[in-house]
A and B are shown apart, each in its own frame.
Chain A
Amino acid sequence: PTYLQTSQARVLSTKPNYQQILDEQGPVLRCLELVLDELQQTLKLLQ
Chain B
Amino acid sequence: SVNPMAYEAQFFGFTPQTCMLRIYIAFQDYLFEVMLVVESVILKKLDGFPGCKISPLQIRKSTEKFLLFMKEHLDKLFSKMEEVLLQLVLNIPKNVLLPEDKVHEQYPYSKEQLEALQDEIHQLQKQYRAEASAGQALRAELEEQKAVQAELEKILQWFDGLENTCREHGTGNFKESFAFLTQNAKRLQDVLKDVEEKSK
Contact = CB atoms under 8 A, between A and B. Distances in A.
Are A and B genuine complex partners? yes
Interface of A: 1-5, 8-9, 11-12, 15, 18, 21-22, 25, 28-29, 32, 39, 42, 46
Nearest to A15: B141
A5 B135 CA distance: 12
Contacts of A3: 123, 126-127, 129-131
Contacts of B129: 3
Interface residues of B, number: 23
Contact of A39 (B145, B152, B174): B174
Contacts of B127: 3-4
B155 A29 contact: yes
Contacts of B152: 21, 25
Contacts of B144: 18
A29 B156 CA distance: 11
Contact of B134 (A2, A12, A18, A25): A12
A22 B151 CA distance: 8
B117 interface: no
B126 A18 contact: no
Contact of A18 (B137, B145, B155): B145
Given A15-B141, A29-B155, A8 B148 contact: no
B130 A1 contact: yes
B148 A22 contact: yes
A18 B151 CA distance: 11
B11 to A, nearest CB: 45
Given A3-B123, A39-B174, A8 B131 contact: yes
